[in-house]
Structure 1
Amino acid sequence: MASKDQVASWTEEAVCPICLDFFTDPVILECGHNFCRSCITRFWDRAERNSCPECGKAFEDRILRVSWALARLADKARNHNLYRKEERKPHCEEHQEELKLFCETDKKLLCVICAAALEHKSHSFMVIEEAVEIHKNQVKSSLESLAKKESEIQLMEQQQKLNISGVLEESRNLKSHFKAWFVKLHQILSEKENRLLGDLQEENNKIENEMKTKLTEIQNNLNDVQRELVELQERMDQKDGVLFLKVRRNITGSFKGKRTVAKRWDVVLK
């Protein structure tokens, strides 16, 4: 059985020197050193030059070859829980030194070499433990403030839900009221419509009967006039003068009848 030192030795071979965790998509550089593809890519982007974080060798092109052996080794170590990232302290990706300081100005972790760099000159630093304590207190205060705000917002939410419920209930009541009112209004209008239509029909029947009666009278007068016209025409067609004079008296009576008919027409037309 392999000793703990042996296990630790081959486990270290499966760890990326930048992220200090088991390799993910490991690649090998031209110098022979291995890194996670994402780790070395980010390192080159930050450094703005293609160089090895281990030996410092620079490369003209970004040539990354997949390391299948390391990929299998890392998967095996990861599956057997042989290494945990939190067991090792974090290191600076640029200088491979332990991160011991926190820059309050830039809000980032630094190693002692980073802190001495020109870009951090006159910045405010503190040890990580102290920074953690201070920021934990700040976070705790923020949590308490947010918890209080959350409680207030929850109360507002409940009140708003009650308001919405009240508005919906009032709306339902108004709808029911309006529906009942319009049903009653429709009933009233329907009854009034039927009554008016009945009165109109009755008046129309009355007028129609009167007009039919006058029409009958007009037709009777027309028949009388037409009949008298026929009689007069027959007398006018009489060739015998003696016979024509004999019926003069009747003719005179007929003319009187015409005047009577004319008067009857005037009455009807009025």
Structure 2
Amino acid sequence: MHFEFMADEMADEGPVQNLCEETTCSICLEYFTDPVIIDCGHNFCQSCITEAWGKSDQEASCPQCREPHQQRNFRPNRQLASIVEIVKKFSLQAAKGVEVLGRVCKRHQEPLKLFCEDDQAPICVVCDKSKEHRDHKVIPKEEAFEEYQGKILRHLEFLNKQREKILSSKLKGETESQNLLKQTDMERQEIMSDFKQLHQFLEEQEHLLLAQLKELDDEIKNCRNQYIAKLCEEMASLDNLIRQLEEKQKQPVTEFLQNMRSILERCNENKNKTINAIAFPRGLKQQIDYFSKIHPFLEKETKKFKDVVLSGPQGKKACHIPKLCSTSKLWFCLLTLSELEAWEANKSN
């Protein structure tokens, strides 16, 4: 028989498919190995029928038709053995003609037309009838492809939205931190200008205030860097997963369905992740507000301030600006409590 004609018959599951089934042992569901024929006319692998009959001391019967066989006789079927070898060679030849590498069952040389949900792997019709997959959920490969393709598309849509949220949060965090840094820089310039007029008297306090602003800068930058690093890490993880999913979509059906469970589990893990807004230390803005109050007071009271300081500490009490968090120790000892209270009262009026 011409191989091209037989290949077409194999693809259509015609007579050649029936021939393959007739050369398959009904016990092991594999091609006959050392086939033997028993008295009722049915054929089995010699090892299969020997094992089947050897399990019980009761009267033996045919595993296929259940006809009793008291003598347990069998004889080699050499003609069938020759046919099996021909069918095996033909199956390999036909498989090469109609299926590409990776689309044929390595075990049975049959097209991988089904998909086992339990093992997450494509299988052939012979595998489906075997004990290994007998109780498994098996569906057509095309149906499995459509189902998982839909899941992949939904995950891609969700992951892309997550990525957009992360990018938006990143930009928002950058903007907020830049605004805070601009405020601290503005306060730095104003404080430097004020202390320049009173440099002899306020040199120590000037350096201390600058140090506190530097601490604020460091806190803001540290918060920003940690936040951006975390977002970048999350985005890199999403990019990697998205890239894997996009590459997965381009793969042939058989390769596409491999490792599907682990990929979907990674996708599901990302659903539970939340994106938190950038979090600056408590009281950070309040600290900046305290700096902003120092400048207008100094600007208004500069002329009087020199006279107050030069007049000596008699009747004067040092002013302490309380710390706002554990990392801030802001002291402004040269301002008098009475002067600051008077300024606050005038401001409120």
Higher relative contact order (CA 8 A, sep 6+): 2
Same fold (TM over 0.5): no
TM-score (norm 1): 0.35
